[in-house]
Every structure is written in C-alpha cells, then in structure tokens.
Structure 1
Amino acid sequence: MGTDRPRLDAHLPLRRVEFHILLSLAAGERHGYGIIQDIEARGETSVPDVGTMYRALARMVEAGLIQASARRPAPDTDDERRNYYRITSAGLRVARAEAQRLGALMRAAR
C-alpha cells in the first residue's frame, strides 16, 4: 500500500456524498436512486438530492472510483432508464483510506 498512498491521498478527503456512495456500492451494485435510498436507510439525516447525486457519480466515474455496470436485474423488476454502478478496486481502497482518516480524526477529538 506504500506506493498507492500518493494516489489515494489525491482523492482525500472525500466529499461526504462521495463517501456515502462508496459505502453504498461496497455492499453491491445500485442505481442512483437506490444509492439515495441506501443512504436514507443508514439513518443519514443529510441525504443528497438527485442532482447532487448524479454530479457526484459522474465525478467518481471520471476518477475511476466507480464504473457503470453492465449487469442488470431481471427485466420484470428493472427500469431500463436506470444506470447501475459498481465500486472499483481503487474506489474500495479510497473508501478504506477515508474510513481510516475519519477514525483518526475521531480518536484525536476524544
């Protein structure tokens, strides 16, 4: 991980919405609104609006933290207009680094 550190640090600190997206996608592929629903289900009080969500998704695809997923649910349970996303290995490393950064911050605050 030593050689990855500079590349990871380039993404840190993450914006709050970006960290929530990575947490959501670490659990499995989702579409944008599904990510918003997952954030709400985790009890987050500040849930991003749709515009904020899709701008963040576009930034994160560009950065290589997430990517569009070609896998789709069964047609009878899917809406073809939905775009599904998945976390990349780089996105998973960045999410872990951000969690460590936040953990260190919390320890320092105590």
Structure 2
Amino acid sequence: MISLAAGPKHGYAMQDDIAELVGERPGPGTLYGAIRRLEEHEYIKALPDQDRRKPYRLTDIGRAALNVELQRMRAVAGTGLRRLAVA
C-alpha cells in the first residue's frame, strides 16, 4: 500500500517501487496475490486499463489502514531504538 500512497500505479511500476524501497523485487505471484487480498479488503481499487496495464489506487479505507499500521510501526521502531541505546 505504501507504493500506492503517492498515487495510482500498475503492477510492474509497483514491483519497481517496492524493489527500490526494500531492496528486493516481489515476484508476480506474490504481488498479484497481495493485490487480490487488498482489493478484497477494499484497501485498493482497480482503475480502468491503460495500454493493457491495470493501475490501482489506494482507497480512503486503505489510506486509513496504512496510516494506522505505519504509526504502529513507528512506535515499535522507537521502542527498539531506545532499548538498543540503553543496552
């Protein structure tokens, strides 16, 4: 969902973005399985095809869910960093 936070992307563009973000490119099966699950939860929505590519966008529900998860991750990372500094 982070890949779609800045705007719509098609699958290949998401693969590139994810590879840049985490250093590893997800395979098509992994990516499209995740896309299917995110659509089922209404976190993302498919847009009309563009030149044989299907772009997706983050929904309002997805944006809210992503925000909650990123805030949770920030709290966990902060706790971990503080504990490392004490050790």
The TM tier, using the shorter chain, reads 0.7 to 0.9
Match of 2:64 among 88, 93, 99: 93
**Number of residue pairs the alignment of both structures matches:** 81
- Residue 49 of structure 1 aligns with an amino acid whose one-letter code is G
Cα distance in 1 for residues equivalent to 2:49 and 2:66: 23
The residue number in structure 1 matching 2:33 is 55
Shift of 1:108: 1.2
- Name the residue aligned to 1:40: 19
Deviation of residue 70 (structure 1)?
2.2
Aligned equivalent of 1:83: 54
> Residues of 1 paired with 2:77 and 2:20: CA distance?
23
2: CA distance between counterparts of 1:32 and 1:64? Answer: 17
1:105 pairs, out of 73, 76, 80, with: 76
Give the CA RMSD over aligned residues: 1.4
Structure 2: which 5+ runs fail to align?
A: 83-87
Alignment TM-score, normalising by the size of structure 2: 0.84
CA distance in 1, matches of 2:74, 2:49: 34
- Larger gyration radius, structure 1 or structure 2: 2
Paired-residue identity, %:
37
Which of 43, 47, 71 pairs up with 1:69? 47
Cα distance in structure 1, aligned partners of 2:23 and 2:17: 12
